Amino acid sequence: MDLSASTLILFPPLDRENGVLVFDTTLLEKQPNLPTQFMWPHEDLAYAAEHELPDPPVDLKGFFNGDQEATGFAAAQIRTACLSHGFFKVVNHGVDARLVHAAHQHMDAFFKLPLSRKLSIKRNQGSLCGYSGAHADRFSSKLPWKETLSFTYKHANEPGRLDVVNYIKSSLGKEFEGAGYVYQKYCEEMKNLCLAIMELLAIGLGVERSHYRKFFEDGGSVMRGNNYPPCKQAGLTLGTGPHSDPNSLTILHQDEVGGLEIFADNKWQAIRPRPDAFVVNIGDTLMALSNGRYKSCVHRAVVNKERVRRSLVFFVNPKEDKVVRPPEDLMGREEEREYPDFTWLDLQEFTQNHYRADTTTLQSFVHWLYSNTKTQP
Ligand SMILES: C=C1C[C@]23C[C@H]1CC[C@H]2[C@]1(C)CCC[C@@](C)(C(=O)O)[C@H]1[C@@H]3C(=O)O
Ligand SMILES: O=C(O)CCC(=O)C(=O)O
Ligand SMILES: [Fe+2]
């Protein structure tokens, strides 16, 4: 085969000015071999899920209707899942299926835009907002086979304040205003769902019912659309590598293609897509807020050989400067603290500037905190 110099420059496509890889799937899909930058080590790829997580979904209908027995049942189901692997599905969550569909449709339309247009709202270093192709400007190896669009949302938004609409409109133009309204509404619904789940998490721990709800009421979240194009050598790469989310709670909707896997009972288990369900996972910050009782869920996303896969993610965080500390009524008399006090601002800085979130983020963060500040165990 004649590998002329120009061919070599094209594969993988590189940004001429900065020399970083460009996630241009129309070009990447044409080449026979996966660029090494996208290859993940054997230990992250091996043991593909052979099982599906068997847990039945948590039905929220009774909780929303104020039925005490059903609330107790849902809280117990959530408690069991969180003590073991930190993951559960919810149904009858009250979010209109048409809204979820519309959010997926608008994300689709965005990812189908020409690359130059998507790059016009490129995510900058240290920020969680904007477009990112394979995170190629942040990392040079183990690149995730995905592109993302993310933006922030404040929970204590007064009615009528349209931060998401304004961000989308000002960065992408007036023709995206409709998309902005859909995302704004989606964020509002996700916030309400998240605060309801916070109550169930508190009931499950036997702490004051509104404790976590209040803690997150003035917090903020990041909404993200993930687009995982098909990959001929899907078995050599990952859409999102094994990690636990550094934030508190994550609410995700995956399309019908499937690819989300969680690590539970010492094996990878696939999460079967269910259009009427949201999947919820505990993140590192909530693990700290429960003094290690609720487990931060280790998960990953595999990619498909033939089909593009999409997911909508809502990452929930406390207010940036609030001290993350378990409630007093949770701590037994002799119980020791598993983690020191910290703020989401610190953990966010750690994962954006010093450490790439993986399966041991919280542990590494605590070491980093001790070595950087006066905080000592
Ligand atoms: C604070 C955050 C960092 C990430 C986005 C939010 C919550 C989850 C984190 C992430 C998804 C964990 C896996 C690695 C990561 C780099 C990714 O693949 O997107 C992480 C996010 C990020 O830094 O963008
Ligand atoms: O897309 C998915 O199913 C998982 C994505 C994920 O884990 C993340 O964005 O943190
Ligand atoms: Fe995640």
The enclosing domain of 309 has a CATH number of: 2.60.120.330
Is residue 351 one of the residues assigned to a domain? Answer: yes
User: Among candidates 277, 314, 296, 297, which has minimal Cα distance to 57?
Assistant: 277
Residue 6 has what pLDDT?
44
**Band of the pLDDT at 375, cuts 50, 70, 90?**
low
- Asked whether residue 50 is domain-assigned, the answer is yes
* Burial status of residue 177 (CB atoms within 10 A of its CB: 0-12, 13-18, 19 or more): middle
Ligand nearest to the CA of 128: 1
Residue 270 and residue 258 in contact, taking contact as beta carbons nearer than 8 Å = yes
CA-based nearest residue to 255, from 223, 233, 228: 228
Secondary structure (3-state) at 149: strand
- Weakest mean pLDDT among 157-161, 195-199, 307-311: 157-161
- Residue 75: pLDDT band (50, 70, 90) is very high
For 227-253, how does the pLDDT look when each residue is reduced to its tens digit (9 = 90+)?
999 999 999 999 999 999 999 999 999
Average pLDDT of the residues in 104-114? 97
In-domain check, residue 17: no
pLDDT the model gives residue 37 = 93
Residue 2 placed within a domain: no
> Residue 7 falls within a domain, yes or no?
no
Pocket test residue of 245, 303, 352, 362 for ligand 1, highest count of atoms within 8 A of CB = 245
For residue 29, tell me if it sits in a domain.
no
Q: Which residue has the tokens 């002329």?
A: 4
Q: What is the pLDDT of residue 157?
A: 75
Average pLDDT across the chain, whole number: 93
**Is 193 touching ligand 2 by the criterion CB < 6 Å?**
no
C-alpha–C-alpha distance, residues 178 and 172, integer Å: 11
In a domain, 25, yes or no: no
ipTM over 0.95: yes
pLDDT higher than 50, residue 2: no
Tokens representing 69? 């027995």
The answer to whether 117 is a known catalytic residue is no
The pLDDT of residue 211 is above 80: yes
129-153 pLDDT per residue, tens: 999 999 998 999 999 999 999 999 9
Domain count, the chain: 1
- Report which of 221, 199, 193 is spatially closest to residue 89, judged by C-alpha positions: 193
- pLDDT attached to residue 10: 55
Range of the domain at 75: 35-375
Annotated catalytic residue within 98, 309, 337, 356: 309
Rounded to two decimals, the pTM is 0.95
